Amino acid sequence: MKLRKSISYLFAHPFKILIHLLSVAIFTFFNKFYFTMNELSGLGKFLILLGIIIICLGLLLTFIPKIPYLGKLPGDIYIKKGNFTFYFPLATSILLSILLTIILNLLLRK
């Protein structure tokens, strides 16, 4: 008799059973994979750093067109023939690579 009532309850209230099973699964997940605040602080620092990098990239994209010789240095390859244009900023890429290497070495030095 008791089994029959539980089966009829299962078919009569499927959403209650589903919510119960989901809550048990979520509780089990957080019990096994519980993150402490110390572990999450590393993620917070990473997200702050990522935000700073995105802001810096936005500022660079805003102000780079105002730098007069960037992209027009001797050594930048520019070929134009009819409807075809090929541009490769070789010297500009090398200059930016050297500058970024120096800046990152100064910032990340221990």
Extract the tokens encoding 82: 């009819």
- Radius of gyration, alpha carbons of the chain: 30
What are the pLDDT digits (tens) for 47-98? 888 889 889 888 887 887 787 777 788 888 989 999 999 988 899 889 889 9
Domain ranges of the chain: 68-110
Helices (H), 64-108: 90-107
Extract the tokens encoding 72: 């027009």
Q: Which residue has the tokens 């007069």?
A: 68
* pLDDT, greater one: 21 or 37: 21
108: β partners: none
Residue 50, classed as helix, strand or coil, is helix
CA distances from 17 to 2, 7, 21, 24, 59 (A): 17, 11, 6, 11, 53
* Residue 110 DSSP symbol: -
User: Binning pLDDT at 50, 70 and 90, where does residue 102 land?
Assistant: very high
